Structure 1
């Protein structure tokens, strides 16, 4: 039984470490940028957070069916389209705020901004919503106890990030953030439905959205290689363990 849940424990530890690196780096951003500059801090942050994310993704791919299989709906008609539609929507929430892609490698000077357009009209924290949707679709498809532990860790981190992000933006922008908060919602479409917000569909027609659509297509195509990649990761980890 211990070996059955070993990979789940490791996954939870990896997610906690990633959360500390990612959210901790966000908390240190203002002071670090004042000391070494925005570009230098972004490069340091990327050099630490990206490898930690790669480790988490690699462990997930290699162990996603570990633990106890709690349900299996993979043969149920209509489940595959449901999974892909839900996953595609999750990506539309996860990544549209990253419009200034050149800020990631610090080619452009990274800046903290208040966004009040596009996906922010639907939810003030689209990445958290996207992560919850991704977890729901993949938990439904995989159905393992390992996947449930992964989802608990990911959703827990993003719920913390909602609170932490609002706190940091309030400290940085003051009343401007209060105005944004008053006109938006965390729950998708809540501010639209109660009249605080109006959707402007033209704001969603942006090159970044086309990039997201292409990325979804690439991920769909690449899923056929996941079993092979996972097996390679398992074999590599075993070889490293055996020396």
Structure 2
């Protein structure tokens, strides 16, 4: 019996396995950063971390694209006026939150020595954990668009991992920086704009006028242009 379009679709369990594997590798390597950097150096650690994370992420994205319509079709709103535009707007906003680390591209590529930073500018003024909210917005947009149980399960798994990342990230920064991080934590908030509304933080629009955000905008444009090709490539994968 073909269970592809039922709640028993095997791809849903496989996707959960992918998510768990990525979460353990990504968060596990992040937890071991200090000890591994002492052994192999900051640059080699960054390269290894990136290779593991990107390899698993690309495999997971490919599997998602190939099976995005598996499971039960919970709703279908793709032909509803306004929905395509809403999904694209939400997706674009999600990337502005997801990639605040683009401010240090040379460190990401290990051209400069990678370091741990205590940021308190730009998007961090809005929320201390922008990647959580970027992932939430991305998941909302894509779950709304696709409307399948496979996408819903994938989104819940991604959000759960990022919620764990909030606790894990704060814990690592507190262990590393102690009172300095606690001071930043007091002046920022996990919930977007909460610290600003409580007057613990000040929103400064000028901090968003950086080349990094121009790069994110260009990336969003390229992603929009490449979306049809990505879907075709995903559908061509048979696994």
Between the aligned partners of 1:39 and 1:109, the Cα distance in structure 2 is 6
Between the aligned partners of 1:64 and 1:168, the Cα distance in structure 2 is 34
Offset at residue 226 of structure 1 (A): 2.9
Query: Is 1:82 paired with 2:86?
Result: yes
Query: Is 1:129 paired with 2:133?
Result: yes
Between the aligned partners of 2:235 and 2:17, the Cα distance in structure 1 is 22
Aligned partner of 2:75 in structure 1 is 71
Offset at residue 3 of structure 1 (A): 4.4
Paired residues, number: 235
Aligned partner of 1:226 in structure 2 is 230
Alignment partner of 1:183 out of 158, 183, 187: 187
Deviation sequence 1:152-185 (CA, Å, 0-9, x none): 1100000000000000000000001001000100
Helix, strand or coil: the match of 1:97? helix
Aligned partner of 1:115 in structure 2 is 119
Q: Which moved more, 1:30-39 or 1:40-49?
A: 40-49
> Runs (4+) of structure 1 moved beyond 6 Å?
none
Helix, strand or coil: the match of 1:167? helix
Offset at residue 143 of structure 1 (A): 0.2
Q: TM-score, normalised by structure 1?
A: 0.94
Instruction: Give the CA RMSD over aligned residues.
Output: 1.1
Structure 2: 5+ residue stretches without partners: none
Aligned runs of 1:93-172 on 2, under 5 Å? 93-172=97-176
Quick check: 2:4–2:70 contact (8 Å CA) kept in 1? no
Helix, strand or coil: the match of 2:230? helix
Q: Which moved more, 1:224-233 or 1:152-161?
A: 224-233
Query: Is 1:213 paired with 2:217?
Result: yes
Helix, strand or coil: the match of 1:116? coil
Query: Is 1:49 paired with 2:56?
Result: no
Between the aligned partners of 1:224 and 1:90, the Cα distance in structure 2 is 19
Between the aligned partners of 2:81 and 2:57, the Cα distance in structure 1 is 34
Deviation sequence 1:15-71 (CA, Å, 0-9, x none): 100000100010000010111110111111122111111100100111111111000
Offset at residue 105 of structure 1 (A): 2.6
Helix, strand or coil: the match of 1:98? helix
Aligned partner of 2:203 in structure 1 is 199
Between the aligned partners of 2:99 and 2:39, the Cα distance in structure 1 is 29
Between the aligned partners of 2:18 and 2:130, the Cα distance in structure 1 is 23
Between the aligned partners of 1:227 and 1:173, the Cα distance in structure 2 is 43
